[in-house]
Structure 1
């Protein structure tokens, strides 16, 4: 049996569990969370889906296991404890593969520390930024000319700039097939919004990043209404994606094409991720080292801005 460990049974962890139950392979799944309430929610959500493989079993634990071996561990805890949880996991167990949730870590030093830890324990890891798995974005990547300079803009309201920018940064890197990200402009608003989660902040305003000559602009306004418009342009074409309405419009100067964009929920993806890893020893998700390169300029920019607004010298960027 393939052994799967899910650390963190909250909103996202419970969706990972639903997805894992859709795997075609027989799995022994262990879900760990120090909160009985979170485990109960995970149990309820597991009962909402059909188990694809009749041999798959699920157990729920309050404490991290010890002296066990796991094929895949999904770490979906909150960002402040993720590095510590990873260290405790690897100090007491053997793990082949890890899928990390994002944002990865709040503290910049933890990126190198966890990378070293993974190397020491011979663990291969990826980060769950799944837009690169969406068929619509894979189709868009095939449309783009690799020799042309790419300009990408994400604009809208209420989409959670602090916690979700990394999704679009990752998509940007995927589309231009490069990773050397630099923050070039900071026009974030000086009012910090309190996140739905206590102790965390949300951001609004405008920022810009570059990878080589390729540019990414992120704009988010404060609103209860969620709108997300993605525009991608190069010399030969312009592509507009309305993520909420699920519409893609492609203009290549001579013709216009309209396609459908479908958001893939985590409960639809995790089983596919598990199957791919177990069957091929590889994943289409973002490799951990690449994701660290994409995370750190963003964390540096956000942390500097938050410290300036709060007039503090925080080491941990309070976003999740």
Structure 2
């Protein structure tokens, strides 16, 4: 529990980092925020988004930095919103520079098992770090889960070319939480044998069908379609449907990732309308809660690393088959 002004570092001021910053404007705790990114354009964009969110009218103080030299040696919270390729190095550099009370790490956590180990070593205490697989904290999903009972279940995510490599971990984690089971394997044999350019430069995406198995018998299938138009970025779409089946009960969810309006319908006719909050909407309550209680509802680092290990092993197998090369990391973020 933190008292007085809280110090927060946001490492990585790109699309997501700047949305975290916007969200912090609504925090009730007084904040001293340090935004760090070597890219001057990213820093400037983040500050302009802070101002758009009314941040300059609050009592919070924000400064932008290209490196860590001017960042305090003690921080209440570090948010690592870099891309996956540099996240292990960024986490190590932050941990070397400062004593960090709590961490929030973006997903995909890393691109290899070795890099996962580097993050765990740098963070030191995995129970003071959480990974932003936010689905388990979404009120709409929590409402469905409350009216469902636990596992085992069968589930599916389908429709659209939504980016299996980038986004599957959200759903894999959601169902681990939903059923209170551990992810134990992914089957990549039905993925398409083509690697497509991701919407994030230098990264790749996949389409086809990914199957998942859990420790209590839960199974899932996540499918993403190839883009209809040549040149369309994979991952620029959203799944059109999610379904979760248990015994005779079925939840059928249309537009499960909509930030405006989706609908969940159960076989008995029960219906819940809902939406997914934007990161800028989620951040204030998350950070206020962390500062007040020292914990939050996101996935703890230890649990997330174990899920990422299973997921990355499967993807590495797939990339090796497709490329014919003995690669040791997958270019995803």
- With the length of structure 1 as denominator, give the TM-score of the two structures: 0.94
1:7-26 mapped onto 2 (5 Å cutoff)? 7-26=11-30
* Distance change in 2, residues 1:116/1:305 (3 Å): same
Match of 2:328 among 302, 315, 318: 315
Per-residue CA deviations over 1:133-169 (Å, capped at 9, x if unaligned) read 11111111112223x4211100111211110011111
Per-residue CA deviations over 1:147-199 (Å, capped at 9, x if unaligned) read x4211100111211110011111111111112242124521001111112222
1:1-320 mapped onto 2 (5 Å cutoff)? 1-51=5-55, 54-65=58-69, 68-119=73-124, 124-146=128-150, 148-184=151-187, 186-212=189-215, 213-223=217-227, 226-242=238-254, 243=256, 244=258, 246-251=262-267, 255-320=268-333
Which stretch shifts more, 177-186 or 285-294? 177-186
Distance, in Å, in 1 between the alignment partners of 2:63 and 2:240 is 38
- Match of 1:79, SS state, is coil
Q: Residue 117 of structure 1: CA displacement?
A: 2.7
- Match of 1:157, SS state, is coil
- Match of 2:96, SS state, is helix
Which stretch shifts more, 227-236 or 25-34? 227-236
Q: Any conservation in 1 of the 2:207–2:226 contact (CA below 8 Å)?
A: yes
Q: Give every structure 1 segment of 4 or more consecutive aligned residues whose post-TM-superposition deviation is greater than 6 Å.
A: none
Q: Any conservation in 2 of the 1:97–1:124 contact (CA below 8 Å)?
A: yes
- Match of 2:86, SS state, is helix
Q: Residue 50 of structure 1: CA displacement?
A: 2.2
- Count, aligned residues: 315
Q: Any conservation in 1 of the 2:10–2:79 contact (CA below 8 Å)?
A: yes
Q: Which segments of 5 or more consecutive residues in structure 2 lack a partner in the other structure? A: none
Q: Quote the RMSD (CA, aligned, Å).
A: 1.7
Distance, in Å, in 1 between the alignment partners of 2:210 and 2:316 is 13
Distance, in Å, in 1 between the alignment partners of 2:57 and 2:246 is 45
- Match of 1:264, SS state, is coil
Q: Residue 304 of structure 1: CA displacement?
A: 1.4
* Distance change in 2, residues 1:275/1:53 (3 Å): farther
Distance, in Å, in 1 between the alignment partners of 2:56 and 2:40 is 26
Per-residue CA deviations over 1:204-245 (Å, capped at 9, x if unaligned) read 000111112001110000235544310001014100111245
Q: Which segments of 5 or more consecutive residues in structure 1 lack a partner in the other structure? A: none
Q: Any conservation in 2 of the 1:99–1:127 contact (CA below 8 Å)?
A: yes
* Distance change in 2, residues 1:159/1:68 (3 Å): same
